[in-house]
Structure 1
Amino acid sequence: MQAPDILCIGSVLWDIIGRSPTAMRVGSDVPGRITRLPGGVAMNIAMTLRRFGLTPALLSAIGRDPEGDELVAACARMGLDTAQLYRSEDLPTDRYMAVEGANGLIAAIADAHSLEAAGDKILRPLADGRLGSEAAPYAGLIALDGNLTEALLADIASSPLFAAADLRIAPASPGKAERLSPLLSHPRATLYLNLEEAGILCRARFEGAEAAALALLERGAERVLVTDGGRACADGRRGLGVLTGTPPAVLVTRVTGAGDTFMAAHIVAERRGDPREAALTAALRAAADYISGEIGS
């Protein structure tokens, strides 16, 4: 397999998603479909990058159980580089479970305990010479998700192994957004957040993405992209200000993975040299296509 174009570090697991075309509330019991697909933030980003023609390498923890073997085989069939995965003998393969209705995500539970337990073992290829070392740190693109522990994310923020990388960071969920605080002021980091996650990092509430992006820049961020569902999103960059874009209006058929698709499409657009406004437009279009079902899972 060719050298990877980008490293995707974080959760690679099975997504178990129940979807119904009916609007739902707490306690609803409705007909629908239940699917199991490869998922996790790092995995979703990698799959989208692959659809755009890039070759991503996965750095994550996957068990040596039957579910893990199936997952690694599925990754390989999609053309993802699995050579750097940490395969654990005693940790089970992680899972994510969500329920979605016509009115969006109803509830979700992420079981990423094995990834958390593996800790810095997943980063060994960046230190032992396979992908880099402290003396010659990896200098390419890295997509990093917030499913890692708070302690490991804090180590990454100051680690020489990440000093030369173009670091693209996303929380795994609003509940894990605060874990990214040590990385907020990293000089080579771009953070991809939704409005709720931005508010958690700033310990504030915002009316819109533009205000959130400005606040994050004031708190020391070098680069942030803040989304707000179907409302305007914002791209803020230190010294260049904030620009905004509005997502295309589409029929919502799914939401799990939309933020990861936005992030991946934005990375691809910037990698090919698109200016900020064009990259933002391309990412919004890709996310809208995904939400409407025009891009396959």
Structure 2
Amino acid sequence: MTQPHDILCIGSVLWDIIGRAPSHMRQGSDVPGRITRLPGGVALNIAMTLARFGLRPALLTAVGQDAEGHELITACRELGLITEHAYRSEDLPTDSYMAVEGANGLIAAIADAHSLEAAGDKILRPLEDGTLASAAAPYEGYIALDGNLTQRLLENIAHSPLFARADLRVAPASPGKAERLLPFLAYGRAVLYVNLEEAGLLCQTSFDSSADAAVALVARGAGRALVTDGGNSASDATQDGVITQTPPSVLVTRVTGAGDTFMAAHIAAETTGADHDEALARALTAAANYVSGGHAK
């Protein structure tokens, strides 16, 4: 029996292996710290935060049938996430992400999302076969989509009639994958969530402020653009204009997952009817709580 849900989260669901040190680090640093393994991935980070806000996210992703995959699915269910629509491959291993963080932020990271990429459009079958939607009855709710999918699949999604009625919210998995979102500028059907660097990559330039970046993305075809810049201002632009706010000042203790938290909190706020100003304020507060070591709330 299909469980009810409030939003679909499409993209990477994997194990995060994060090494954190309390000292400043540089290339070649060898310092004491802590190494943790937690459920992660952009789609999963978004889903976990949405669940903390009382929503019921369903995951469309690829997870292996290996021991790591079974453990990950169990962890997701314990977090209140709906996993019955995930593609469970017998041939592909469960994906993972490894990062090193110091007191001066992210030092380096490697994302191994090859299984998600190899699964391709198999993860979208529930939107085609009538399980969640079909070509005759496209999905009409919120969808959070991440850029860990292949360029080809993202382009197909950007113009696919299966997504024509959805409220589509899209984020890159990292600056290195930002240009995968270019199809969503061409078709203008999505709300983009990016940081200042990612906005520059999409516009093939650099920006001095989040407001300039958000306005430029809309001018290039985005239906709406939200741009963050760490502890500096964040902006939300549409064809009607741009609003800008400054996040709360906090002591940063972690950075991996902050953008995903911002996006999830923003979506959650808008599902309750918050206007653009209120939704941006709530998202910035949630992200500040997260990077300071607390839970988004």
TM-score of Structure 1 vs Structure 2, range by shorter chain = over 0.9
Residue deviations 1:207-266 (CA, integer Å, cap 9, x gap): 11111111111111110000000001110012x111101010000000000000000000
Q: Alpha-carbon deviations, 1:8-48, whole Å to 9, x = none?
A: 00000000000010010000000000000000000000000
Residues 1-297 of structure 1: pairs in structure 2 closer than 5 A: 2-238=3-239, 240-295=240-295
Q: Structure 2: any 5+ residue segments left out of the alignment? A: none
- Structure-2 separation of matches of 1:56 and 1:87: 18
TM-score (norm 2): 0.98
Structure 1: which amino acid aligns with 2:71? Answer: E
Q: Matched residue pairs, number? A: 295
- Identical aligned residues as a percent: 71
- Which residues of structure 1 form unaligned runs of 5+? none
Aligned-residue offset at 1:185: 4.0
Contact 2:144 2:170 in 1 (8 A): yes
Moved more, 19-28 or 287-296: 287-296
SS in 1 for 2:215: helix
> Does the Cα contact within 8 Å between 2:247 and 2:284 map onto a contact in 1?
yes
Q: Is the 8 A contact 2:188 2:221 kept in 1?
A: no
Q: Tell me, in whole angstroms, the C-alpha distance in 1 between the residues paired with 2:225 and 2:187.
A: 11
Taking the aligned partners of 1:221 and 1:143, their CA distance within structure 2 comes to 16
The one-letter amino acid paired with 2:222 is: A
SS at match of 2:192: strand
Contact map agreement 1:165 1:188 (CA 8 A) in 2: no
Structure 1 range deviating more: 207-216 or 53-62: 207-216
Aligned-CA RMSD value: 0.9
Amino acid in structure 2 at the alignment position of 1:268:
A
Asked if 2 retains the 8 angstrom alpha-carbon contact of 1:185 and 1:222, the reply is: no
Maintained 8 Å contact 2:117/2:150 = yes
Q: TM-score, normalised by structure 1?
A: 0.98
Aligned mates of 1:107, 1:179 — CA distance in 2: 21
User: 1:65-120, CA deviations, whole angstroms, 9 ceiling, x for partnerless residues?
Assistant: 00000000000111100000000000000000000000000000000000000000
Deviation, 1:187, is: 4.0
